[in-house]
Each structure stands twice: as structure tokens, then as C-alpha cells.
């Protein structure tokens, strides 16, 4: 495993080795950057463990074991009689802090989920505030083989180890084999962006399976196109498709970060119309950089904004000058959400004071990059079936602009661009006319990385929304054990299910459609102003954080981002009745039928986004309704609940 540990050895050799020799090895691995406070902490840990491990000579020990995805290190790992113990020391502390418990539980979860040699093993996380009072421990093993966090001080580690080993037994596990086992992480988009920004490669932060391989191949294909354009002085546009959570945004960030090479006159920018996504990523990167590089948060924010921007900022600069932008490579995230001509014209007139603007957003964005005299590359990242706003043009507008206005641009298409999810009822050949284009199979990301417990979640959601009940039932049966989706009509029960599932710093959140106006009757207000940065990033103890399960995020706040466990409140805006879905918009005292196909598509796509936000599990809450409330009649909800139940969803 990459990084391994600062010190490795048998417990018997650790017990006989000189304290200063062990400390010296730790400092060498730390490149002698060790501050006195860390050096003293290590010395204290060595002294404590030499005393407490005297009864366990047959075990093995590792100091400062690296968790690759998280960029953190476990203070001490012990493998004794096949059991994995994770010890997190707090030298000098006298309290068993919740933050420390969460920290060591995060380590245990990370190994359980992503490390092959830990997956089927018992993992026992232990915190050791050295000066704390004795605390009784109850050994409780959860269903995945992780024990609840045990609490020790400097005097009773050995006793707690003996207690565990007297109750648990496992096959031998050599430390070398454990360390050499494959580590296959699936970080959140926030964690992945932070890792990329710290100069990790995609392979470092992605699983070495089909999904990760796909992501790597796609990134390589884009880099090859960019290099060819540079060499031949050409301009090209690439369309990357992918299922929800397949890593489209990650691929885009990776390209933007890799090609952001100022010295080579190759500036790159990652652009998105998704304001919440941009705000959350900018702030997450800034906080991480400030914490790891000794710079102020304001300086860090300025740096991150140089290559991750809201698309309207890019517009503004282009309107103020006819010069080509500094960037030669522009990555447009969620390109299917680009505005059509009518929507952009209204925006320009209302917000920018430009009365005679007549371009669609795709046409305008291509025109900006076309100002370069030598070469330029546009990368469009496309999610299937995720247009959720009125005025979002979908892919057809991009292809129309290329056909009518930009004959010199080379076009590279994913081989899935013909799917209805991406182009609706349109035909690629009709949209492009006689324009030449190249189909590149590696520009499709077909495996979801978001829901690491089940790569078939996207397929299940598609079948559910397409009313393919047979396929949905089959897919649900296959994914339930690894990715639980449950159903209830009791909001308190739904919240309890989520809270019981969450461990460590795993992040839960409540989700609801922006059209779910009648959820307020059960205390869920979708029109409350929320700050996405706080919702996604703030400490769980902060009332603005998602973890409180009080304020729902809608499809607009969560598109492109994810949480660990979700609570989806399903209102009567999208209801199943008479054998199919029907579409409604609540206006005052009544639900109005949505007749336009575009409006129906936006509503269904909103639920597609919401149903694919959770990485580990989801509870769907469908209200009971009220026969005395015309806007909440039980039949508005009963059909949806019955349909979901018919797919096999477990009730709680």
C-alpha cells in the first residue's frame, strides 16, 4: 500500500528496541520536519505502548499508517490474532472527545470500504486520551465488522485488548499482507477535488476497477485531443457523457488542474452554471489549502477561483472585451444545462443591460473560445437526463451552433450521444447535418463512482422513473444488501433510520424537489433560503449543516454533489397514478397539471438527481396525505407509495 507507515515491526521487536531508535525512525520518515510537540507525543506513545503491549509479543505494530484517500495518518495500528486495532492517541488530554471518536471511526470506515484486506476483518477503533479517567467499555460489533469506539487511557490499553481478544477470534493476518493489499478509494467530489489540487493523480483517488479505468482512459483521451490541437493549431470540442456519479465532474477538474500550466501558455478553466457546486468546491479547496499550506483563507480563495468559476463570470469578461480569454482549454460542466437563446437573451437584458443579445449560451461560449487565433479546446461534460431548469437547452443547441456557425471546429462525440437521455428525441445526424464528427467510445463514463456500494443505482433509478417495474424490481433485489433503499410514511421514522446509519463524520441530508410545496404541512420547507456551503461543509454540530435533517436541499443545490445517506421527501408534484407518472405544480390552493413535455422532463429529472445523491443509502418518505386538505388528498400520495412498494422497497 502506498505510503505504508513510518515504523513497522513485530511487537516483540518493538518491545526490545531502544526508545530513541524508534523515535529516530519516525523522524526520518517525517523528513526531520517534526516539531517538538509531535516528537514529544511520539515519545509518550512509545513509552505507553512498551508498557501496555508486554503481554502481546506475537502481534505486529505500525506507527503513522497512511490513509491514502483521506491524506491522514492513524497513530498506531496493531494486528493481534487477526484482529485489526486502530489507536488514536491524544497525549495529555483528559476527555473522551466526540471529535476524536469520529476521527478514528472515519479511519475504520475508510479501511472497511476501500481496503481489500480489511473488508472481511474485525476492526476495533480505540481512542487514547492519555490522562482521562477509566471508562467502562462494552464491546459491540456492528454488522459490517467494525466495533463501536472503545475508550482507553495510558494505563488500561492492555486490559481492553485482552477483553476484545477473549471475545473475538479471527484467522491470522500478517502485517505485510495487510499492507500490500489493494486500496481502492471512492472519494466524494469534494475529497477528490482536494486530492487533485494537492497534485494527486486520478488513479490515486479512484478505484482500480472498471470505473476507475474508464475515468483514466477518458482523461487520457481528452489530453491527447488537446495535445493534437496544440500541435496542429486546430480547435476542437469534445462531449463526455456519463451516468450520474460516474466522475464527469472529477474528470473535468482533473483536466483543468493538469492543464492549468501558466508557463506553457496553457491556462485552463473549469466552468459551471451550477452556482452551489462552484461555491462548495471553491470553499472546500480554499479551506484545505489554508490548512495545509500556511496561507490565509482569503489568499487560498483567490487561488481556487482562478481555475474554478461560475460560468456567468466568464460571460461578463467576454462582454467587456473582444480579446480572446487567457484560457486555451475550457471545461463546461453540465453542458446540457446551458441556456437556450431566449433564456440567455432575457438574462442579458435584465441582469447585464444588453438589449440586443441574440445567441444561445452554447453559441456564445464557442464564440468566446473561437477568438483564439491558433488553438483552443472545449470539453463539454454531459449528464444524462439532468436538465432541471426552464431554459436549459440540452445538447441539441451545442450541435446546432457547431453546424451553423463553426465549420472549422473538430467534433469528438461519445458513442452514447445517440441515447435519448442525452439528446431526447433528436437525431445526431439531423442535428449536425453534413458536419463531420468523430465518435470516441472512451468519452463515455458508464460506471457510477458515487454509490460505491452499488454501481447499479443509476440503472435502478432509470428503470423506476421509466416505469419499467420488472427491471426496477430485479435491480433493487441485487443492490439492496449493499445499498439499502427503504420506504416509510413516517418522517420521524425516516430521520431515525438515517441517524442510526451514520457513523464518524459521514454526512446525512434531507432532499426534496423544488416543486414540493405541500411538504410544509409536515414541517419541511423547501423554499427556505439555504447556504449550500454551510449545508455541505459546516461541522455537524452547526445548525445550518445538512446533518440536522431540518432544511432540505433541492435538485438545484445538490446537483453534482453528494452526501452519504439521504432522506428524500416525495411530494405530490411527481405522482404515480393510473399506471404511470403524472406531473403537477402547486399554485395556491390547487395542484395544476403540467402539460408541456419540457416541464414534465424537468420534473422527472429533478427526482432523478435527488434519487442519485446518496453514496451509501436512502430512505424515501411519502406523506400520508389528509382527506380534509384539498392540496394533500391521500390519493395524491398513495399511488406513489404503492408503486415504490411494488418494486420491492423495504418498509421501515
Q: Which three cell numbers stand for residue 521?
A: 404541512
Q: Is the pLDDT of residue 69 over 80?
A: no
Greater model confidence, 2 or 406: 406
Q: Is the pLDDT of residue 614 over 80?
A: yes
* Mean pLDDT computed over 398-417: 90
pLDDT, tens digit, 9 for 90 and up, residues 105-161 = 999 998 988 888 998 999 999 999 999 999 999 999 988 899 999 999 999 999 999
Q: Is the pLDDT of residue 91 over 60?
A: yes
Place of cell 432575457: 346
* pLDDT band for position 86 (cuts 50, 70, 90): very high
pLDDT, tens digit, 9 for 90 and up, residues 159-209 = 999 999 999 989 999 998 998 887 766 667 777 777 766 655 555 555 444
Render 342-383 in DSSP notation, one character per residue.
Answer: HHHHHHHHHHS--TT----HHHHHHHHHTT-SS-EEEEEEEE
Distance CA 85, CA 108 (A): 9
* pLDDT band for position 255 (cuts 50, 70, 90): confident
In the prediction, which pLDDT does 1 show? 42
Task: Quote the pTM value.
Answer: 0.75
Strand-pair partners of 109: none
In the prediction, which pLDDT does 446 show? 76
In the prediction, which pLDDT does 199 show? 59
Beta strands per DSSP E along 213-326: 235-242, 267-272, 308-310
3-state secondary structure of 240: strand
Distance CA 363, CA 381 (A): 16
In the prediction, which pLDDT does 67 show? 76
Positive or negative torsion for Cα 164, 169, 172, 178: negative
pLDDT, tens digit, 9 for 90 and up, residues 450-487 = 545 556 888 899 999 999 999 999 999 988 888 899 99
Distance CA 494, CA 485 (A): 11
Q: Is 649 exposed, middle or buried (0-12, 13-18, 19+ CB in 10 A)?
A: buried
| Residue 335 and residue 397 in contact, taking contact as beta carbons nearer than 8 Å | no
In the prediction, which pLDDT does 161 show? 96
Distances (CA, A) of 582 to 69, 202, 579: 43, 41, 10
Distance CA 308, CA 271 (A): 6
Q: Which three cell numbers stand for residue 497?
A: 433510520
Task: Write the CB contacts of 615 (distance below 8 Å, at least 6 apart in sequence).
Answer: 186, 188, 450, 451, 452, 453, 562, 563, 564
Distance CA 575, CA 643 (A): 10
In the prediction, which pLDDT does 103 show? 92
Dihedral angle over CA of 446, 449, 453, 455, nearest 10: -10
In the prediction, which pLDDT does 385 show? 54
pLDDT, tens digit, 9 for 90 and up, residues 545-596 = 999 999 899 998 888 788 999 999 999 999 999 899 999 999 888 999 999 9
Task: Quote the mean pLDDT of the chain.
Answer: 86
* pLDDT band for position 68 (cuts 50, 70, 90): low
Poorest-pLDDT segment among 92-101, 280-289, 402-411? 280-289
Amino acid at each position: 500500500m502506498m505510503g505504508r507507515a513510518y515504523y513497522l515491526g513485530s511487537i516483540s521487536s518493538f518491545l526490545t528496541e531502544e526508545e530513541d531508535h524508534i523515535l529516530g525512525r519516525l523522524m526520518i520518515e517525517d523528513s526531520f520536519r517534526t516539531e517538538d510537540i509531535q516528537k514529544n507525543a511520539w515519545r509518550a506513545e512509545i513509552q505507553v505502548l512498551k508498557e501496555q503491549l508486554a503481554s502481546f509479543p506475537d502481534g505486529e505494530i505500525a506507527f503513522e499508517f497512511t490513509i491514502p484517500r483521506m491524506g491522514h495518518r492513524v497513530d498506531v495500528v496493531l494486528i493481534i490474532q487477526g484482529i485489526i486495532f486502530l489507536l488514536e492517541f491524544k497525549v495529555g488530554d483528559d476527555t473522551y472527545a466526540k471529535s476524536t471518536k469520529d476521527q478514528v471511526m472515519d479511519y475504520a470506515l475508510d479501511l472497511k470500504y476501500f481496503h481489500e484486506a480489511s473488508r472481511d476483518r474485525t476492526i476495533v477503533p480505540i481512542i487514547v486520551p492519555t490522562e482521562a479517567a477509566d471508562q467502562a467499555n462494552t464491546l459491540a460489533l456492528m454488522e459490517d465488522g467494525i466495533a463501536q469506539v472503545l475508550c482507553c487511557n495510558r494505563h488500561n490499553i492492555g486490559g481492553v485488548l485482552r477483553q476484545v481478544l477473549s471475545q473475538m477470534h479471527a484467522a491470522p493476518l500478517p502485517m505485510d499482507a495487510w499492507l500490500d493489499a489493494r486500496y481502492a478509494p471512492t472519494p466524494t467530489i469534494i475529497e477528490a477535488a482536494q486530492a487533485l489540487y494537492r497534485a494527486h493523480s486520478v488513479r490515486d483517488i479512484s478505484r482500480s476497477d472498471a470505473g476507475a479505468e474508464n475515468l483514466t482512459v477518458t482523461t487520457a483521451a481528452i489530453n491527447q485531443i488537446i495535445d493534437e490541437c496544440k500541435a496542429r493549431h486546430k480547435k476542437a470540442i469534445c462531449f463526455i457523457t456519463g451516468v450520474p456519479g460516474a466522475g464527469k465532474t472529477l474528470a473535468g477538474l482533473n483536466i483543468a488542474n493538469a492543464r492549468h500550466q501558466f508557463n506553457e501558455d496553457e491556462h485552463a478553466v473549469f466552468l459551471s452554471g451550477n452556482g452551489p457546486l462552484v461555491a462548495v468546491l471553491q470553499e472546500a479547496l480554499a479551506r484545505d489549502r489554508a490548512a495545509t499550506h500556511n496561507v490565509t483563507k482569503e489568499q487560498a480563495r483567490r487561488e481556487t477561483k482562478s481555475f474554478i468559476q461560475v460560468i456567468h463570470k466568464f460571460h461578463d469578461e467576454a462582454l467587456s472585451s473582444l480579446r480572446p480569454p487567457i484560457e486555451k482549454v475550457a471545461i463546461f460542466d453540465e453542458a446540457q444545462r446551458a441556456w437556450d437563446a431566449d433564456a440567455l437573451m432575457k438574462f442579458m437584458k435584465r441582469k447585464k443591460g444588453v438589449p440586443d443579445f441574440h445567441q444561445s449560451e452554447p453559441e456564445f461560449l464557442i464564440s468566446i473560445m473561437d477568438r483564439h487565433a491558433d488553438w483552443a479546446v472545449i470539453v463539454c461534460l454531459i449528464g444524462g437526463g439532468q436538465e432541471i431548469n426552464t431554459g436549459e437547452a440540452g445538447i441539441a443547441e451545442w450541435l446546432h451552433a457547431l453546424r451553423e456557425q463553426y465549420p472549422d471546429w473538430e467534433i469528438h462525440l461519445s458513442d452514447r450521444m445517440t441515447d435519448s437521455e442525452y439528446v431526447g428525441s433528436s437525431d445526431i445526424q439531423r442535428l449536425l447535418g453534413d458536419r463531420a464528427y468523430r465518435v470516441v467510445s472512451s468519452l463515455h463514463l458508464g460506471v457510477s463512482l458515487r454509490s460505491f456500494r452499488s454501481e447499479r443505482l443509476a440503472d435502478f433509478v432509470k428503470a423506476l422513473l421509466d416505469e419499467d417495474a420488472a427491471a426496477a424490481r430485479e435491480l433493487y433485489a441485487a443492490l439492496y444488501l449493499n445499498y439499502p433503499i427503504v420506504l416509510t410514511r413516517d418522517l420521524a421514522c425516516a430521520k431515525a433510520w438515517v441517524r442510526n446509519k451514520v457513523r464518524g463524520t459521514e454526512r446525512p441530508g434531507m432532499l426534496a424537489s423544488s416543486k414540493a410545496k405541500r411538504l410544509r404541512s409536515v414541517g419541511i420547507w423547501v423554499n427556505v433560503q439555504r447556504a449550500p456551503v454551510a449545508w455541505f461543509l459546516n461541522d455537524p454540530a452547526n445548525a445550518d449543516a445538512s446533518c440536522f435533517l431540518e432544511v432540505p436541499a433541492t435538485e438545484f443545490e445538490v446537483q453534482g454533489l453528494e452526501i452519504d445517506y439521504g432522506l428524500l421527501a416525495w411530494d405530490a408534484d411527481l405522482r404515480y397514478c393510473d399506471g404511470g407518472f403524472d406531473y403537477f405544480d402547486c399554485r395556491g390552493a390547487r395542484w395544476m397539471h403540467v402539460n408541456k413535455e419540457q416541464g414534465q422532463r424537468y420534473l422527472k429529472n429533478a427526482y432523478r438527481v435527488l434519487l442519485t445523491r446518496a453514496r451509501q443509502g436512502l430512505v424515501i418518505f411519502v406523506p400520508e396525505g389528509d382527506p380534509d386538505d384539498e392540496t394533500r388528498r391521500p390519493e395524491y400520495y398513495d399511488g406513489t407509495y404503492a408503486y415504490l412498494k411494488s418494486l420491492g422497497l423495504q418498509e421501515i
